Amino acid sequence: MADFDSLRRRMVDEQLVRRGVTDRSVLDAMATVPREAFVDADFRDQAYADGPLPIGAGQTISQPYIVAVMIEALALTGEERVLEVGAGSGYAAAVLGQIVAEVYTIERHRSLAEGAARRLEALGLDNVEVICADGTRGWPERAPYDAIVVAAGAPVVPAALKEQLTVGGRLVIPVGGERTVQELIRITRLSATEFRQEKLGDVRFVPLIGEAGWEV
């Protein structure tokens, strides 16, 4: 039987710290959340591998390093209300739930949304809510958000997500003209009408499907 605690600590040290992730809250959260609980049984022995894994419905659980980089880029302090688009199996939402006050995570595939909700409930993360909906529209019912993270590649930045940010809030999203190749960007809302955009590097995500994303 795999020693998941040791594998988790090694993942944090070798895949995150050595690559420059420094946010202590992110490192502590990823050292706490059992990634093996968020992958299919057939891939559990690969839960801490340095890469993505399939989770069904044509989706993947992201590489641990990418999860850490995206959450670190949100510059969280612990009191935030965060929206995640693309819950998948619920892993990144669980990490966020260890760090911030409230997490709302949207998943368009009902089977994945239901599975994520079960896993999060089993871990006792009652500050994380899973919604089955079109994530490109955001979730105005709980807006505005201090931070928004999108775990799928968009052709353009959905306007609804920018509109649902607080002033000073950060949006981290992969954007690109191809369905599987993107650039990770961070958008900070400076005022009601002003936004600052920064490039964080090249990434590869499954496409963001929805009204303001790619067609099915």
Is residue 191 flagged as an active site residue?
Answer: no
**Contact (Cβ atoms closer than 8 angstroms) between residue 71 and residue 97:** no
Annotated catalytic residue within 6, 62, 89, 111? 62
The token pair at 70 is 């995206």
Residue 47: partners with Cβ closer than 8 Å, 6 or more residues away: 4, 7, 35, 36, 38, 39, 53
Please state, in angstroms and rounded to a whole number, the distance separating the CA atoms of residues 175 and 184. Answer: 6
Please state, in angstroms and rounded to a whole number, the distance separating the CA atoms of residues 44 and 86. Answer: 21
* Active site (catalytic) residues: 62
